[in-house]
Structure 1
Amino acid sequence: MQQPFFKKYQGVLIASLIIILWFSSLIFLLHLPVTWTSPATYLFVLIQTHLYTGLFITAHDAMHGVVSGNKKLNKTIGVITAGLFAYNSYFRLLPRHHAHHHHVATDLDPDYHGGNFFAWYYSFLKQYITWWQIVLMAITFDLLKLFFPVENVVLFWMIPAILATFQLFYFGTYLPHRGEHEPTNKHKSSTQAKNHLWAFFSCYFFGYHYEHHDKPYVPWWQLYKVKA
């Protein structure tokens, strides 16, 4: 029996929705007159941050092969979403992320650092940001400011990318892997308390991090189902 279209292509449709929302929101916000005293301005920054995070989470799911059963399409979506997030390279991220899963919270884990919060965040940034990305971002910034107000480019294109990096680090790396874990904790990962609304808005359910390590084949939009 053939699967319904939506169910068969659910991962691709959700990935496409995130890309469309990110792009359309960015275009809208780049044209929006900035009112510094309006709470809406800062709300839009948070919304765009969340959509940036969604791009990376989609690229992450592609690294696990769960966006599409078609390997070529899955990889294409991974390349696109990683690239839209500050010119990240999917092919550079892929082996590092699998090293994280295979060697979690050890010296071979590129996401792990035994130092304090700030040293760990700095180490995280060094793992995922390259000089060529910074150069490409600078070139793109110079191009965008030819067509849009500088404050719009900074507020809605640049700052959300930086905040999303922090969001991914804090909820997806630091909180679940900090401190000591019981020897019986085979994934050396903690997990958020069950609250699906907060889990989605904080980091697309990746606060349910033990569950992700235990079932990496489950896409982000189904992680809540495996939460104990």
Structure 2
Amino acid sequence: MLSLQKKALKTDNWMGAIITFVIASLWIASLVGSFQIFVPNSSWIWLICSILIRTYLHTGLFILAHESMHGNLIPQNQRLNKIVGRLMLGIYGLLPYDRCLVNHINHHRYPSQSGDPDFHGDVANPIHWYCKFMSEYFPLRSLVTFITSMIVIIAILMIAFKVSLTNLILFWLLPLILSSLQLFFFGTYLPHRLIDNNLNFSPRLHSDRYSMLWSFLSCYNFGHYHWEHHAYPHVPWYKLPRAIRTQT
């Protein structure tokens, strides 16, 4: 019995690494495949589906980096956990891991309060909130680095690999923008907006009761089970549904 428990624990410890490999592999394969699409001859339905799939996989890269910040990605090897997290965040949008880590620590320390870098009290205008959200992760220096690096990468892909600029915009840059909106709306705005006329900026975390499938598709369970994530930050995203079952 004990050996079976140890075996299960060992498998569980490597689940984060397995999921990382799957998401990263699908992201790379879909990116390379999307470069082969001849857009003028493709149907709008096919293009929209391709963009949405690319967006979802791109969001997955950030989720993996987020898991790394909590030590959940590869829990048995924290050095490797952080290395992979940096890599995922770099692929996602050339974001600085250390800055994002500090921001996220403060987000958990002061959720939905003035000390929360992800929070904005003006819920009447979510556009302002989104701009603040992005500025916290893309300060001027990071933004300049991102734009410069993307210009160089795009130039290399276009010149050396003959990739169409249209494909790069549709299947790389657009999914990045849509991914940031997905993370903001489902992972930040909906769970953390002030409700019930709460004027004290105190935490009002809650889980939006979506179906299990929608919870997975909307934001890898971080919309539906956001309160559970704050209550149990060391529970991996794919185990958050279990967290709510243990409370009931």
- TM-score, scaled to structure 1: 0.93
Contact kept? 1:187, 1:210, Cα under 8 Å: no
Residue aligning to 1:169: 184
More displaced, 166-175 or 34-43? 34-43
1: CA distance, partners of 2:180 / 2:73 = 21
- Matching of residue 196 in structure 1 with residue 209 in structure 2: no
Query: Per-residue deviation at 1:227?
Result: 3.0
Number of aligned positions between the proteins: 227
- Matching of residue 11 in structure 1 with residue 26 in structure 2: no
Report the structure number with the largest CA radius of gyration: 2
Listed as ranges, the matches of 1:1-228 within 5 Å are 1=3, 2-4=6-8, 6-34=11-39, 35=41, 37-69=43-75, 70-115=77-122, 116-129=125-138, 130-131=142-143, 132-146=145-159, 147=161, 148-180=163-195, 187-207=203-223, 208-228=225-245
Structure 1 gaps of 5+ residues are none
Contact kept? 1:32, 1:152, Cα under 8 Å: yes
Structure 1 residue ranges (4+ consecutive) displaced by more than 3 angstroms after TM superposition? 35-38, 180-183
Query: Per-residue deviation at 1:187?
Result: 4.7
Q: What are the Cα deviations for residues 104-141 of structure 1, in whole angstroms up to 9, with x where unaligned? A: 11111100011221110110111112221222122222
Contact kept? 1:187, 1:214, Cα under 8 Å: no
1: CA distance, partners of 2:57 / 2:12 = 23
Q: What are the Cα deviations for residues 23-46 of structure 1, in whole angstroms up to 9, with x where unaligned? A: 111011111221453311110000
2: CA distance, partners of 1:215 / 1:76 = 23
Contact kept? 1:187, 1:213, Cα under 8 Å: no
Query: Per-residue deviation at 1:151?
Result: 0.9
2: CA distance, partners of 1:135 / 1:11 = 32
2: CA distance, partners of 1:79 / 1:14 = 16
Any idea what SS the aligned residue of 1:145 has? helix
Q: What are the Cα deviations for residues 154-183 of structure 1, in whole angstroms up to 9, with x where unaligned? A: 111110011000000000000011123679
Any idea what SS the aligned residue of 1:112 has? coil
2: CA distance, partners of 1:212 / 1:187 = 14
More displaced, 205-214 or 45-54? 205-214
AA matched with 2:173: M
2: CA distance, partners of 1:77 / 1:110 = 24
1:8–1:190 CA distance, 2 compared to 1 (3 A): closer
Query: Per-residue deviation at 1:196?
Result: 0.8
- Structure with the higher helix share, 1 or 2: 2
Contact kept? 2:193, 2:204, Cα under 8 Å: no
Contact kept? 1:52, 1:161, Cα under 8 Å: yes
